[in-house]
């Protein structure tokens, strides 16, 4: 069991992966919002002349450790994605699946692109990840969901294990009887799940980090222990952490040094990881950091 973390443009990395060797792909490409996604990390120290006042009038000073950002405006987003998705299709095993995470502004364009590469019949589900956090527009229904498209390489042969999916409580347990209520039900294609909570242990400070709970569910259902899971828009490495927890191998790719630095800390205790084009050791550092700003997907729609 092991993982490979590659610092590279993902098209180059994908071209080096053997055809048919990957069991599951999850990707969360930067949404083409045209905004610069930013996150500032601070460390807080007690200081008698500090600018922040806390409990019992104690004063603190905040030091800005750095701002991480990535430019997610691409001139032609779909033409950027197309060759990468073609490679994704090539590297998937015949029983393999792709989960493609996107926001509602681009989902319909991406669906057509995915249909053209995988085939309309290979489309299995549109999963709606619904969360409830951040501001609320008074001019429209507040947008509080992302879309995850699920495609199979071969709709007749793809691996899917409903027994491995963690069951969830019924909405109205009184209507189904005690035994069923105790067992819970299988989730549908609408997944209610909180975003990564601010100040939780899970939070890395990387913008757009996705919850481990979402990745655990995907990996448990669509791969087996010992399989290989690929995420070539890896960010903070959430897919790799969930894969390692569930006994899967993983390959992560990102071309942003900030992502690799976050992963260096996040994977510090995890054995058997090969790093390609990057030395994690100087970046292991302390993890006592706080995150200031919420991710852009939690901001109110203007
Ligand atoms: C939305 S974030 C992924 C967040 C991730 N799911 C997580 O939980 O942290 C998208 C990532 O894609 C990376 N990226 C964008 N273009 C890339 C490229 N051409 N090659 C590799 N990585 C790329 C960005 O650096 C960014 O980290």
For 175, the token pair is 């209507």
- Its pTM stands at 0.84
Could you tell me the distance, in angstroms and rounded to a whole number, from the CA of residue 152 to the centre of ligand 1?
22
Q: Does the residue 62 lie in any domain?
A: no
**Coil, helix or strand for 82?**
helix
Could you tell me the distance, in angstroms and rounded to a whole number, from the CA of residue 49 to the centre of ligand 1?
40
CA distance 212 to 161: 19
Structural domain harbouring 116: 3-36+71-298
In the structure, what pLDDT confidence band is assigned to residue 20 with cuts at 50, 70 and 90? very high
Could you tell me the distance, in angstroms and rounded to a whole number, from the CA of residue 302 to the centre of ligand 1?
25
Residues 9, 231, 236, 299: is their CA dihedral positive or negative?
positive
Is residue 238 lining ligand 1, measured as CB closer than 6 Å? yes
Residue 300 confidence (pLDDT): 29
Q: Does the residue 50 lie in any domain?
A: no
Residue 289 confidence (pLDDT): 44
Residue 198 confidence (pLDDT): 82
Residue 39 confidence (pLDDT): 64
Residue 77 confidence (pLDDT): 85
Question: Residue 173 in contact with residue 181, Cβ under 8 Å?
Answer: yes
Q: Does the residue 135 lie in any domain?
A: yes
Q: Give 258-267 pLDDT, tens digit per residue.
A: 999 999 999 9
State the chain's mean pLDDT as an integer: 88
For the CA of 238, the closest atom of ligand 1 is: 8
Task: Specify the residue with its C-alpha closest to ligand 1, atom 13.
Answer: 233
Above 50 in pLDDT, residue 287?
Answer: no
Above 80 in pLDDT, residue 40?
Answer: no
Residue 63 confidence (pLDDT): 76
Residues 6+ apart with CB under 8 A from 125: 149, 150, 189
Q: Does the residue 47 lie in any domain?
A: no
Q: Does the residue 61 lie in any domain?
A: no
What domain count does the chain have? 1
Is residue 70 lining ligand 1, measured as CB closer than 6 Å? yes
Residue 123 confidence (pLDDT): 98
Given ligand 1 and candidates 9, 238, 251, 255, which is best to mutate, with the most ligand atoms within 8 Å of its CB? 255
Sheet of 123-130, strands arranged across:
190-192, 123-130, 145-152, 92-103, 22-27, 228-231, 249-254, 3-7, 273-276
Could you tell me the distance, in angstroms and rounded to a whole number, from the CA of residue 72 to the centre of ligand 1?
9
For 66, the token pair is 């750095």
In the structure, what pLDDT confidence band is assigned to residue 32 with cuts at 50, 70 and 90? low
For the CA of 259, the closest atom of ligand 1 is: 27
Q: Does the residue 65 lie in any domain?
A: no
CA distance 199 to 205: 9
Q: Does the residue 49 lie in any domain?
A: no
For 65, the token pair is 């450790």
Could you tell me the distance, in angstroms and rounded to a whole number, from the CA of residue 41 to the centre of ligand 1?
19
Residue 68 confidence (pLDDT): 62
Q: Does the residue 180 lie in any domain?
A: yes
CATH code for the domain of 126:
3.40.50.150
Q: Could you tell me which residues are beta bridge partners of residue 125?
A: 150
Is residue 146 lining ligand 1, measured as CB closer than 6 Å? no
Helices 238-245, 212-222: axis angle to 10 degrees equals 50
Is residue 30 lining ligand 1, measured as CB closer than 6 Å? yes
Q: Report DSSP letters for 151-194, one per residue.
A: EESSTTT----GGGSPPB--SSGGGT-HHHHHH-B---SEEE-P
Is residue 209 lining ligand 1, measured as CB closer than 6 Å? yes
Cα 215 to its chain centre, rounded Å, is: 7
Q: Give 173-219 pLDDT, tens digit per residue.
A: 999 999 999 999 999 999 999 999 888 899 999 989 999 999 999 99
For residues 246-268, give the mean pLDDT.
97
Cα 3 to its chain centre, rounded Å, is: 17
Is residue 254 lining ligand 1, measured as CB closer than 6 Å? yes
Residue 60 confidence (pLDDT): 75
Given ligand 1 and candidates 71, 232, 235, 239, which is best to mutate, with the most ligand atoms within 8 Å of its CB? 235
For residues 149-168, give the mean pLDDT.
97
Q: Contacts for 265-272 with beta carbons within 8 Å, 24 or more apart?
A: 265/204, 266/204, 266/236, 266/237, 266/241, 267/3, 267/5, 267/237, 267/240, 267/241, 270/3, 270/241, 270/244, 271/2, 272/1, 272/2, 272/3
CA distance 249 to 251: 7
């Amino acid at each position: 069991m092991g993982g490979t973390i590659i610092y590279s443009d993902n098209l180059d990395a994908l071209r080096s992966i053997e055809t048919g060797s990957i069991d599951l792909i999850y990707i969360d490409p930067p949404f083409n919002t045209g905004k610069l996604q930013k996150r500032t990390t601070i460390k807080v120290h007690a200081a008698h002349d500090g600018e922040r006042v806390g409990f019992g009038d104690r004063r603190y000073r905040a030091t800005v450790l750095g701002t991480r950002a990535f430019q997610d405006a691409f001139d032609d987003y779909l033409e950027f994605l197309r060759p990468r998705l073609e490679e994704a299709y090539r590297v998937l095993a015949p029983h393999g699946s792709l989960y493609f995470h996107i926001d509602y502004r681009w989902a319909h364009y991406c669906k057509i692109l995915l249909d053209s590469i995988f085939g309309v019949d290979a489309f299995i589900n549109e999963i709606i990840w619904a969360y409830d956090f951040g501001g609320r527009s008074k001019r429209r229904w507040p947008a509080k969901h992302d879309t995850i498209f699920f495609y199979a390489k071969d709709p007749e042969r793809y691996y899917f294990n409903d027994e491995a999916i963690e069951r969830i409580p019924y909405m109205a347990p009184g209507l189904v009887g005690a035994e069923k209520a105790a067992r819970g039900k299988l989730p549908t294609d609408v997944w209610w799940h909180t975003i990564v909570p601010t100040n939780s242990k899970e939070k890395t400070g990387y913008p757009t980090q996705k919850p481990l709970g979402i990745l655990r569910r995907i990996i448990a259902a669509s791969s087996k222990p010992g399989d290989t899971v690929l995420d070539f828009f890896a960010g903070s490495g959430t897919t790799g952490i969930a894969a390692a927890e569930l006994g899967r191998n993983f390959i992560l790719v990102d071309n942003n040094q900030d992502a690799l630095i976050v992963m260096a800390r996040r994977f510090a205790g995890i054995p058997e990881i090969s790093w390609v084009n990057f030395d994690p050791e100087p970046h292991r550092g302390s993890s006592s950091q706080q995150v200031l700003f919420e991710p852009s997907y939690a901001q109110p729609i203007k």
